[in-house]
Structure 1
């Protein structure tokens, strides 16, 4: 103020990085050396992990094991697998050329069920892309990335359900085959553009393999329009973007590298850690008070609860009920069931469609607002206001699987 400079109105600050629940310090020997990160991991891996694991207002926990697990589950088996399987099918069934925009996205009078499914995938991609932008601009990086992985899960399921490898066996199915491939590729174009600020190197490689011109980092995600995939462009050689990391081998190599570095250091982290661990209490990650535990139950009571995996097929707001969403679910029972969930103030219907959730499947049905609710959705309750965070999965799980 004394020199006439206006004081800042907002200061953005994240929490502390810890490792294995403990403070990072030289005495404990758990310092994360940037040189080791650079030697064993790409910068995109570290950038993605940091954005996915660190939440503003809370501490973030880093371990090499956690980084490897996240890379393998989200990138290698998730995004990387989707890119590889899609481009290899374009290479095999379309002579490496991007297919034309199908009628499903041009003619509003489509009547075929498989065309309607493609439109549903399009709508999910657009809706979750907008959710990413909203969360990202609010510095909710982890939730923004969850929105992207919902697109990935939806497209993966779409490909598996459509079975393009079977469609390719009969020329009569050419239009449907090209629709599946075009829809998957267009979703990938959206995914690649919105992930570019977080993983600039990897998304640039995906962009190039897809035969797209320019760079995803220079593409404004808010200006993306569905249906503008450049047809007839030639894809390039399909290469693995995110190879699966050998966890056991990599951890051994990292430990050997850390040992070499410590031997050349004045600090002896192993001996220091043995003395410090006795006095070192685990760091509290959560800033909010933890709710008190409810009364104890025995194992027989717990076994009465039947928790199942369910896929959200449809979602809509319940008329004259501000808090309720009606969800139509596939819980692997052969026919859909519906539940009512009090999450409408925090989740839109579009955000819920396509998600894998956890439900209490054997809860006695009850009527709410004229609808029968046939179960209960599981969600965390955050803060004094009890903000719900719907529980889900990082990997694909079969509908109806028991927890």
Structure 2
């Protein structure tokens, strides 16, 4: 049974791309599956609206504009156009693609904030805000860096991006530093406005219990809500953004107006088409958010609470994707582990549908996706070229050469049953957001078609029984028709090509899955077919790997230069007496385990010659498993001031270097030494 009512329209949204940089493959992990989902729902007969837009406010926009000596308006115009063009080039078709700086979004944000104020969900409060005397300005979000109050890792003003990943409120950072001039910041009092998020605990527990979508989104949000929620500061000291009602010196926090953009873009679509936006956002509509896994908190906690408080309808489903790796390395633009959609893909001559297929079929949507040029080549050559493309081409070519049209003949019951079962299985997988399972189901039908063709040996039948040969080919054409319909959401342009080669005059993009069991029409003229997919050669992949390697090399050289420049700038020398204050000892790791909710941290127990082992938290979990470090001798800084990392107290530091990929290199003695041996 379908989870979506056939009589209820569906709105699909995508997390907004930030208009502050170029599109990379990490972006497409969200937008391509969402486009596939929309196309598939339409093929099931649903009414679907698909909206998105550029996120154009917040400190990074202002910060980047200042660095480039331009205005925020000019910056967002550049990147909004870039994303709009990129999405179109990848076959992603939005019904509306706006910006959060559109007047519609300013007006809709004011309406929602005013409703929250009227409903007593917003209140003023004087708090301490980081302030830089040198720059003579308050420092919101990205303008300030410091120490996370929860895990002591380096963090920025609104998020612990290097450690525990927690959202941070203004004033929470310890030891704040201005990111503009590098000067030490101080805290000054200022009035800001808070949303009573804490009052929505019970509502959110009930909401999340019924929320559809992927379990990673629901479970992550439930973990936070069960801990209890704090009120949320919703204003910032910026000139760029949506003004807070009644205040010229404050704008609403970007995570207020950005998701409200979903409503504004729906409103713009409704104004353009004469339809209704309220049927989604006021009448408990069917709303499906597609987002990255890093913004679950905002979409499953902040947004539904805000909408509830203002009398709007929240999403019925939230679909969160897993993260992206590049060649088994953590995605990092600064380290060079990135694939740019323009420079590295489209401009290198790759067809957009190949990447669409890879992103959908590589792994489960909620799991980590690794992009590898070699795997990309293998999937393309083996599956698209070798299975689907091969089946369709050999069928069409044989039919064209021997019949010049779709032959006469009865369709096998088994063939029709297999097609229907595949449509049912694929539709069910799509409704459960299982894109890999969908792709696998369709590829299984393509394999079935190849086996059907091969086992019946039409090259022999054409000599012995032309009528039977025609019947076999008609069955193959029926399989090809169903395959093309099922592949259209995944590879829309190639499917359009295949549809025409099958002699179809209708539009494959609007044709329903149910057409897959409508018999192909005998006598339909066929033209000489062309090959759908070309094999990707080894030389092409070697070229792309060389480009990737060079980018990583240049990124490492840039980082090393920065480190060298920093050392030269700081010019801080220490005396031998200073060095003598460091209590460094040899120790053996006797126990090791991962720290809960902290991907980078291991909790170690290290024997450094004392009565009991020292508990030390080390940021080495991405490169070292608990099993491989247990029993290993390391160098420990024993007199480091204790710190609490993600709730676990650490009494020292395990010394390590950093390799060119950012991984930890543990320092060890030249040969086994007695635990507690002094270093110096």
1:47 equivalenced with 2:333 (yes/no): no
What's 1:99 paired with? Answer: 407
The 3-state SS of whatever aligns with 1:268 is helix
Alignment gaps of 5+ in structure 1: 106-117, 285-403
What's 1:127 paired with? Answer: 421
Q: 1:98 to 1:21 in 2, by over 3 A?
A: same
What's 1:74 paired with? Answer: 383
The 3-state SS of whatever aligns with 1:125 is helix
1:36-80 Cα offsets, whole Å, 9 max, x none, are: 111232110011111102423211111111111110111000111
Q: 1:26 to 1:98 in 2, by over 3 A?
A: same
The 3-state SS of whatever aligns with 2:325 is strand
What's 1:268 paired with? Answer: 554
The 3-state SS of whatever aligns with 1:13 is strand
Rounded Cα–Cα distance in structure 1 between residues aligned with 2:476 and 2:316: 44
What's 2:19 paired with? Answer: none
Rounded Cα–Cα distance in structure 1 between residues aligned with 2:359 and 2:314: 30
What's 2:443 paired with? Answer: 149
Alignment of 1:290-309 (within 5 A): none
**Of the candidates 210, 229, 252, which is equivalent to residue 542 of structure 2?**
252
Alignment of 1:270-289 (within 5 A): 270-271=556-557, 282=622
Rounded Cα–Cα distance in structure 1 between residues aligned with 2:341 and 2:621: 26
Q: 1:216 to 1:25 in 2, by over 3 A?
A: same
Question: Residues 14 and 58 of structure 1 are in contact (CA less than 8 Å); yes or no, is this contact kept in structure 2?
Answer: yes
Give 1:194 deviation, angstroms. Answer: 1.5
- Which one has more relative contact order, counting CA pairs under 8 Å at least 6 apart? 1
1:196 equivalenced with 2:504 (yes/no): no
Rounded Cα–Cα distance in structure 1 between residues aligned with 2:450 and 2:470: 16
1:169-198 Cα offsets, whole Å, 9 max, x none, are: 12xx12210111000000100110111111
Give 1:272 deviation, angstroms. Answer: 6.5
1:209 equivalenced with 2:514 (yes/no): no
1:329-352 Cα offsets, whole Å, 9 max, x none, are: xxxxxxxxxxxxxxxxxxxxxxxx
What's 1:230 paired with? Answer: 521
Question: Residues 373 and 545 of structure 2 are in contact (CA less than 8 Å); yes or no, is this contact kept in structure 1?
Answer: no
Q: TM-score, normalised by structure 2?
A: 0.36
**Of the candidates 28, 32, 39, which is equivalent to residue 339 of structure 2?**
32
Rounded Cα–Cα distance in structure 1 between residues aligned with 2:363 and 2:357: 10
Rounded Cα–Cα distance in structure 2 between residues aligned with 1:273 and 1:73: 39
Q: 1:283 to 1:197 in 2, by over 3 A?
A: farther
Rounded Cα–Cα distance in structure 2 between residues aligned with 1:220 and 1:120: 21
Question: Residues 28 and 269 of structure 1 are in contact (CA less than 8 Å); yes or no, is this contact kept in structure 2?
Answer: yes
Rounded Cα–Cα distance in structure 1 between residues aligned with 2:480 and 2:559: 46
Rounded Cα–Cα distance in structure 2 between residues aligned with 1:145 and 1:15: 18
Q: Which has the larger radius of gyration?
A: 2
Give 1:274 deviation, angstroms. Answer: 9.5
RMSD: 2.7
Question: Residues 159 and 180 of structure 1 are in contact (CA less than 8 Å); yes or no, is this contact kept in structure 2?
Answer: yes
Give 1:21 deviation, angstroms. Answer: 2.7
Q: 1:25 to 1:71 in 2, by over 3 A?
A: same
Rounded Cα–Cα distance in structure 1 between residues aligned with 2:327 and 2:364: 17
1:8 equivalenced with 2:8 (yes/no): no
Rounded Cα–Cα distance in structure 2 between residues aligned with 1:210 and 1:281: 53
Moved over 6 A (4+): 272-276
Question: Residues 400 and 528 of structure 2 are in contact (CA less than 8 Å); yes or no, is this contact kept in structure 1?
Answer: no
Q: Which has the higher strand share?
A: 2
**Of the candidates 469, 478, 492, which is equivalent to residue 177 of structure 1?**
469
Rounded Cα–Cα distance in structure 1 between residues aligned with 2:316 and 2:417: 38
Rounded Cα–Cα distance in structure 2 between residues aligned with 1:252 and 1:206: 30
1:237-292 Cα offsets, whole Å, 9 max, x none, are: 3111101110x2012322454578x49xxx9224479999xx876589xxxxxxxx
**Of the candidates 206, 231, 239, which is equivalent to residue 530 of structure 2?**
239
Rounded Cα–Cα distance in structure 2 between residues aligned with 1:236 and 1:204: 15
Rounded Cα–Cα distance in structure 1 between residues aligned with 2:354 and 2:337: 20
Give 1:223 deviation, angstroms. Answer: 4.5
Rounded Cα–Cα distance in structure 2 between residues aligned with 1:7 and 1:78: 43
The 3-state SS of whatever aligns with 1:31 is coil
Give 1:224 deviation, angstroms. Answer: 3.5
Rounded Cα–Cα distance in structure 1 between residues aligned with 2:444 and 2:623: 32
Q: 1:132 to 1:9 in 2, by over 3 A?
A: closer
Question: Residues 20 and 63 of structure 1 are in contact (CA less than 8 Å); yes or no, is this contact kept in structure 2?
Answer: yes
Q: TM-score, normalised by structure 1?
A: 0.59
Question: Residues 28 and 272 of structure 1 are in contact (CA less than 8 Å); yes or no, is this contact kept in structure 2?
Answer: no
The 3-state SS of whatever aligns with 1:81 is helix
